[in-house]
Amino acid sequence: MEPINVVVWAPDPLTRAGLCAYLRARPGVNPLPAHELARARLFLAAVDRFATSALRVLDHAAGVPALVLTRVVDAELLPELERLGVAGLLPFDALEGEQLMDKITSAAAGHRGSPLRMPKGGAPAGGRELTPRELAVVRLMSEGWSTSDIGHKLGCSERAVKGVVADVVAVLRSQNRPEPMTKAMLSALG
């Protein structure tokens, strides 16, 4: 099988180098520099917050299937991402194991995920979407993981997890810690 040529773009060289090293270590994937876009079967953009300024990069890569690895996407950009042919939005903080490789293989084969969308339920009462990290913490909490276990799984401190939980409670205007988990489970059922 011919390797999947992937152009990796990130606004900072450290993120780009890390992703390229990760991909090089995987069989069947060949990271390419941006100037070899014509040879690419996939364009992988990694950015902390996907905003209007990052659209120019995707517009430049038009014609090549793209994945966007991000923590936050401005909801009003979703139609434009669809127009540019983005095959999927991937949460930076919630990817586990081989999920990135599965998405790369699928997108390079021409498969698109479900329509691009923010997490179920739209913007919460607080007026903004939960970030992928916040969603990952809520998911792990609802699965019964302890704060320290969540920190270990996500590669952060227990204190950082507690801060994320406090943010989630505030954004969802919840009364207590279990309420966001209940809302997440009900949303998943709905």
Mean per-residue pLDDT of the chain: 78
Q: Same fold for the domain at 4-108 and the one at 132-189? A: no
Domain ranges of the chain: 4-108, 132-189
- pLDDT digit string (tens) for 21-68? 989 988 899 999 888 989 999 999 888 777 777 777 877 777 888 888
Tell me how far CA of residue 134 lies from CA of 20, 33, 58, 101, in angstroms: 26, 32, 26, 23
**Tokens encoding 164:** 């994320």
Cα separation, 77 vs 51, in Å, equals 7
Q: pLDDT value at position 116?
A: 58
Strand partners, 67: 44, 88
- pLDDT digit string (tens) for 82-120? 778 788 888 776 666 678 888 888 888 887 765 555 433
Cβ contacts of 70 within 8 Å, gap of 6 or more? 45, 46, 47, 48, 49, 50, 89, 90, 91, 92, 132
Cα separation, 155 vs 157, in Å, equals 7
- Classify domain 4-108 by CATH architecture: 3-Layer(aba) Sandwich (3.40)
The amino acid that residue 68 corresponds to is V
Q: Where are the alpha helices (DSSP H) in 25-116?
A: 52-60, 78-83, 99-108
CATH of domain 132-189: 1.10.10.10
Is the model's pLDDT at 180 over the cut of 80?
Answer: no
